[in-house]
Amino acid sequence: MRERALAIVVIVVSVVAASVVASGPARPSTSSPTGTQAPAHVWTGTQEAERWATGTLAGLSLEKKLGQMICPDLSAGYLTDDDPRLAGWIRQARELGVGMFVLYGGTPRDVAHLLNRLQKEAAIPILISADFEGGPGQQVAGASEFPANMGLAAAGSEDLMYRLARIGAIEGRAMGIHLTYTPVVDIAVRPDNPAESVRSFGGDMDLLGRMVRAYARGYRDGGMLTTAKHFPGRGDVAVIPGVADFLQLDKPAASYEAQESLAFKAAVDAGVSFIMTEHIAVPSVTAGSMLPASVEKKLATTWIREKLGFTGILTTDDLWYAHVVKRFGENEVAVLAVEAGHDIVLKPKDPAGAVQALAAAVRSGRIPEARIDAAVRKLLTLKARLALHRDRLVDENRVGALVGTPAHLATVHEAADRSLTLLKNDGLLPLAAAHLTGEKMVQIAVQKVDGDPSPAALTTRLQAAFPGIRSFTLRPDLDPAYHEKAWPTIEAADLIIVSLFVQRNRLGDPAPLRDADLAFLRRVIAARPKAVIAMSYGNPQVIRKIGDVAAFAVGYGERGWFGNQPVYFDSFVKLLKGELKPAGKLPVRVSEVYPIGAGITW
């Protein structure tokens, strides 16, 4: 029986290796899409990769096999030689034999140096992952940071999406990163529940599919793997009553299949190598189960493997979350995840404890060892397909020539310019020259979160572009008297710019303007109805509350994880100066007045 089971596993893995890197080998290339010289990446042939994987697997103990299935986190940056974090990561690489790390932070050279050091400690090459939702610069300071997915969908160009994705891969591989936990394929279909906001490509399923295909192909051609997340879908979720912090998709099975499931099917067809599950239940397709996909076999195996036909690697999302640990147990949750069908356990609270718990489950017969072998063989095969079995180190001297280059930055600015979306224009734009006198311009920045540096950065940019412009920032807990002090200057201005840094409340108000600020803005608009232009940085839904402005534009980036927000400062200045014709089209429904496809140009 054992010999037959292993034979079946080998046959299955042959299919997996061919499909996990769907287009491989990638076409060799010596330059990035923007001209930066980059080393060519050639995928290792499937047969060679499988031979290495099979031979390597045969030499591993049970604990070392299980170590390959664990993905702890690490952070780059300056580290002293005796930093206890570094010592811990070295132990995980050398003694626990982890198969992966997920990286956060650092600068490009910091990252390359740390990852090379850890690779030298490991007996088997380590697959390094990172979350590049906003490009490499989301994680690594100095690398290229992209507009959010919704912005790329607003631009609507598969070629632009491909070029950005390939830039992401070139920069990632230069630093020693092999897998991105992207693209996000969560959909945005209900204006009152924009749970993932600009992280989503939107609600047009055809457009989402085209963007995902271009995304996966760009990263693949640059030598990196991709991950579709967050299965079963996090774009239209609701809280489970009575189950603290856990979410569900509370919709009929037919709706789920036509929306969220269809988005993940598009990602599977695009050739993503990984799917990441989330702690979300879908009772309508699991016979009423309220277990999340992270531990529910009906979702992780029956739906992903059997219904969607995915043969790649299935990873959990983070397992260290307090609500996850409380409900399922610190180490037991790793066992439940593997039982459900996962190949990789991401960020367990105690990596060594997770290995011990999994080993006990295998030895007790709870989990067949053949199941472990199949998961590890897939991972090892991918490492060899990436050619890590031949050379796992990166050339640290080449990092500066490949990461965050001016050519890459130019493509980032192109994406922002092409995605900027003008939703309303009552004859204000293009601006007359008289409106561009700084002394007659006023900016009102609305800042939702205390400590957000973006309003101050935008103010500096506007002052450089329009000397003499006056700026006022409406912050949390602002003294109401501030409104009255600003009023005379605002009332005398020829052009009033409202800069909105108002992120949605996840699972709450899509446009959470404070009551006092909203009343003040409406007073400004009523007093100067033909002189106000609003620019929302990351949230198109705000137009629903101040729809009487003369003009309203949108850029797609939320500070932090969700896309490059500051790149839109330059795009907005170009719009004001008449140097940019808006071309973006709204990829998400805001209202009946502003449906998918809305966007004004001239």
Condensed to tens digits (0 to 9), the pLDDT of residues 147-192 reads 999 999 999 999 999 999 999 999 999 999 999 999 999 999 999 8
The verdict on 445 and 509 lying in the same domain is yes
Predicted local confidence at residue 418, as pLDDT: 98
Cα 424 from Cα 532, distance rounded (Å): 11
What are 310-356's pLDDT values in tens digits? 999 999 999 999 999 999 999 999 999 999 999 999 999 999 999 99
Q: Which of 397, 431, 451 is a domain's end point?
A: 397
Tell whether the model's pLDDT for residue 246 goes beyond 70: yes
The verdict on 96 and 177 lying in the same domain is yes
3-state secondary structure of 75: strand
Predicted local confidence at residue 196, as pLDDT: 87
Tell whether the model's pLDDT for residue 529 goes beyond 90: yes
Query: Looking at residues 86-97, what average pLDDT do you find?
Result: 98
The verdict on 97 and 157 lying in the same domain is yes
Instruction: Establish if 535 belongs to a structural domain.
Output: yes
The verdict on 429 and 312 lying in the same domain is no
Residues linked to residue 31 through DSSP beta bridges, in sequence order: 37
Predicted local confidence at residue 491, as pLDDT: 93
Query: What rounded mean pLDDT belongs to the chain?
Result: 93
> Residues 389-410, buried b or exposed e (16+ Cβ, 10 A)?
beebebebeebeebbbbeebbe
CB 90 within 8 A of CB 142: no
Instruction: Establish if 433 belongs to a structural domain.
Output: yes
Query: Percent of the chain, pLDDT > 70?
Result: 93
Tell whether the model's pLDDT for residue 508 goes beyond 90: no
84 CB-near residues (< 8 Å, 6+ apart): none
Predicted local confidence at residue 16, as pLDDT: 43
The verdict on 379 and 301 lying in the same domain is yes
The verdict on 210 and 328 lying in the same domain is yes
Alpha helix positions (H), 448-501: 454-465, 481-492
Instruction: Establish if 411 belongs to a structural domain.
Output: no
Q: Which of 347, 365, 397 is a domain's end point?
A: 397
What are 442-483's pLDDT values in tens digits? 999 999 999 899 999 999 999 999 999 999 999 998 998 999
Question: pLDDT tier at 561 (50, 70, 90 boundaries)?
Answer: low
Instruction: Establish if 588 belongs to a structural domain.
Output: no
Tell whether the model's pLDDT for residue 29 goes beyond 50: no
Question: pLDDT tier at 512 (50, 70, 90 boundaries)?
Answer: very high
Burial class (CB in 10 A: 0-12, 13-18, 19+), 203: buried
Instruction: Establish if 584 belongs to a structural domain.
Output: no
The verdict on 388 and 490 lying in the same domain is no
3-state secondary structure of 441: strand
The verdict on 388 and 428 lying in the same domain is no
Q: Which CATH number characterizes residue 371's domain?
A: 3.20.20.300
The verdict on 379 and 464 lying in the same domain is no
Predicted local confidence at residue 559, as pLDDT: 72
Q: What is the DSSP letter of 138?
A: G
Half-sphere exposure of 485 (CA within 13 A, CB side): 10
- The number of beta carbons lying within 10 Å of the beta carbon of residue 22 is 16
The verdict on 189 and 222 lying in the same domain is yes
For strand 247-248 and strand 238-239, is the pairing parallel, antiparallel, or unpaired?
antiparallel
The verdict on 378 and 424 lying in the same domain is no
Range of the domain at 287: 2-397
Query: Looking at residues 206-220, what average pLDDT do you find?
Result: 98
The verdict on 435 and 390 lying in the same domain is no
Higher pLDDT, 7 or 340: 340
What is the identity of the amino acid at 236? D
CB 566 within 8 A of CB 134: no
Cα 218 from Cα 213, distance rounded (Å): 9
What are 112-153's pLDDT values in tens digits? 999 999 999 999 999 999 999 999 999 999 999 999 999 999
What is the identity of the amino acid at 565? Q
Q: Which CATH number characterizes residue 532's domain?
A: 3.40.50.1700
Instruction: Establish if 402 belongs to a structural domain.
Output: no
Instruction: Establish if 505 belongs to a structural domain.
Output: yes
Domain tally, the chain: 2
Higher pLDDT, 557 or 376: 376
In this prediction the pTM is: 0.93
Cα 119 from Cα 521, distance rounded (Å): 55
Instruction: Establish if 106 belongs to a structural domain.
Output: yes
